[in-house]
Structures are given as structure tokens and as C-alpha cells.
Amino acid sequence: MASLAGVRLKANRFLFEPELNIHLGSLYVKQLSRMFRGDKKYMLAAYNAGPHRVKRWRKIPGSDKLDIFIENIEFSETRLYVKNVLKNYWAYKLLTNNFEISDNELLSFNDGW
């Protein structure tokens, strides 16, 4: 990501600098957003497990639906990551009175995650 952003690192230790890490992470999220047309479930899974895996998981019938996609993620770490980030995202939206949440998202919100 650093080379794509035109950032030349003198040493790997610079990756641990918060400003650089946030900058590169933001660029990566923007890239994933374009790649997956802003679909959060795909973006989160790709951020955690890589875009190539998400492209493979999207071929599973029904994977356009949130619950089917998430339950077919083969790595428990990635599955839990996607669930937890989405749960916190929806909770934040509810707390900030932004109730523009789809029925599918609401149904998934309180299913024991």
C-alpha cells in the first residue's frame, strides 16, 4: 500500500507510526470501497482476510445477503471481525439517531453476536 501511495519507507519501523498507519489504512479502505462498491460486509471481510478471498466467497449462492455471506466466511477470526464491526456500526447509527438501517441489517443486529 505504501508504494501505491507514493510513500517511500526507509525502514519497516515507520509502519508503526500512527499518522502513517492511519494514512495508509485510510487509502486501503478507500481502495476496498471502490473495489466492492461501498458494500460494508465485503469491505470489512476484505480488510481482514484479503480481497481475493472475498471474491471467492461472493460466488457462493445467496452471498449478496448479509447473513449468508457472513456465515460462509471460512475463517472464524474474519467472521467475528465482520460481525463485531457491523454490530458497533449499527449501534453507533442508532445512538446518533441515524435510523437509515435496512431491514436485513436490523434483523441481523440482535441475533446473538
What tens-digit pLDDT sequence spans the chain (113 residues)?
545 555 666 656 666 778 877 888 888 999 999 999 999 999 999 999 999 999 999 999 999 999 999 999 999 999 999 999 999 988 888 888 766 666 566 555 544 44
Structural domain for 51, as ranges? 39-109
Distance CA 2, CA 70 (A): 30
In terms of DSSP H, where are the helices of 5-102? 18-35, 40-49, 51-57, 66-71, 76-95
Report the number of distinct structural domains present in the chain: 1
- How deeply is 52 buried, as exposed, middle or buried, from its count of CB atoms within 10 A (0-12, 13-18, 19+)? exposed
Answer yes or no: is 9 within a domain. no
Answer yes or no: is 11 within a domain. no
Answer yes or no: is 105 within a domain. yes
Query: pTM for the whole thing?
Result: 0.76
Answer yes or no: is 6 within a domain. no
